[in-house]
Amino acid sequence: MMDGIERAACIGGGVIGGGWAARFVLNGIDVAVCDPDPDAERKASAMLENAERAFAKLFGGDRPAPGTLRFAGSIAEAVDGAGFVQESVPERLDLKREVLAGIDATAPAGTVIASSTSGLLPSDMQRGLIHPGRLLVGHPFNPVYLLPLVEIVAGRDTDPAAVERAAGLYASVGMKPVVVRKEIDAFIGDRLQEALWREALWLVRDGVATVEEIDDVMRYGFGLRWAQMGVFQTYRLAGGEAGMRHFLEQFGPCLAWPWSKLTDVPDLDDALVDAIAGQSDEQAAGLSICELERIRDDNLIAVMEALERSGETGWGAGAALKEARQRLRRKRDATGFRQVRG
Ligand SMILES: NC(=O)c1ccc[n+]([C@@H]2O[C@H](COP(=O)([O-])OP(=O)(O)OC[C@H]3O[C@@H](n4cnc5c(N)ncnc54)[C@H](O)[C@@H]3O)[C@@H](O)[C@H]2O)c1
């Protein structure tokens, strides 16, 4: 159950919708998925299997009995009785609007509807809805069943109570909701990622580095700093004892040189696509996507557990994990729910 929610609906059950379904089910919520892809059930079940494996490692015997996962033939059937609806269909405004209108017309009164969009504006998506006040963005990060962050973005007509409700619901399934103060394209996370991605594409395009060398530069270096302190606190420390002011004085002028190609976009022509895809195949060294997903999940669990051991309360994503564990333990003690042995 998630703060009184016993049933949720996931409209769209691909990479992201399947991840949401898994997170909800493993937190004890019954989920109905609606997805026209005949292969969606197989994919979502495979995702749930990965998620179960990860949850067993993270929460062991404190896991609640999982909810059920069923596939519905229509949006109306999926949202029937749902206390929360998460939309995760492909990133096209016209499609989102059509699907959201269908959800809004059939979901129970008062049920919050969240869109997983990576960057579309909620104000654009709520145009034409009968109850625009209950629509907001709940933008997760892949894998949804492991990474705690969800960005909540309100549109012009979103009811503040819906934001509060969504934040509570997400926290109750172990997530860290961050409410974005202003409605902007791509929100916070994807703006930052897009900036780095553009630079990385130029570096490959200009023959400066291979995809593997760029990933190595991240994962052996600043990626480790980002995972635990982000960018500002990391730079504060880079300023030495004089802190942030000194850092800004010292490196501020570099911004004008400039060290970045941020506003330019490389042409993704055949040559660049071939180079990136070929180098990426080489980097994978024969490991399948499924094998890489499990390695990724194990690594994320190891990083989060290390951060959980930092200090008394844990640090960053480790603090979120510690809270999730405590919440599940409290719930188990309070309700004596049937535990899953792990
Ligand atoms: N992939 C990511 O890393 C990521 C991260 C955060 C957010 N998102 C966002 O999540 C959303 C979904 O992306 P994804 O990566 O899961 O895509 P995906 O292609 O893996 O999944 C989309 C699913 O929607 C289904 N679908 C299509 N039309 C539908 C309809 N009318 N009703 C119900 N289902 C329908 C498709 O069959 C497919 O299974 C997008 O808005 C995307 O921007 C993606």
Q: What is the per-residue pLDDT across 266-310, written as a single tens digit (0 to 9) for each? A: 888 999 999 999 999 999 999 999 899 999 999 999 999 999 999
> Which residue ranges make up each domain of the chain?
7-179, 189-286
| Predicted structure pTM score | 0.93
Evaluate the CA torsion angle 200, 204, 208, 213 in order and state its sign.
Answer: positive
What CATH class has 7-179?
alpha beta
Ligand 1 contacts CB of residue 13 (under 6 A): yes
Ligand 1: centre distance to CA 297 (Å): 21
Ligand 1 contacts CB of residue 37 (under 6 A): yes
Please report, as a single letter, which amino acid is at residue 306: A
Alpha-carbon separation of residue 142 from 47, 131, 139 (angstroms): 11, 29, 10
CATH numeric code, 189-286:
1.10.1040.10
Ligand 1: centre distance to CA 316 (Å): 28
Least confident of 62-66, 285-289, 333-337: 333-337
Alpha-carbon separation of residue 43 from 56, 95, 99, 109 (angstroms): 20, 21, 21, 31
Best residue among 34, 79, 88, 103 to mutate for probing ligand 1, ranked by most atoms within 8 Å of CB: 88
- Residue located nearest, by CA, to atom 41 of ligand 1: 117
Q: What is the per-residue pLDDT across 212-264, written as a single tens digit (0 to 9) for each? A: 999 999 999 999 999 999 999 998 888 888 888 888 888 888 877 777 777 77
Ligand 1: centre distance to CA 309 (Å): 35
Coarse DSSP helix, strand, coil percentages of the chain, rounded to the nearest 5 percent: 55, 10, 35
Ligand 1: centre distance to CA 142 (Å): 12
Rounded to whole angstroms, the Cα distance separating 177 from 167 reads 6
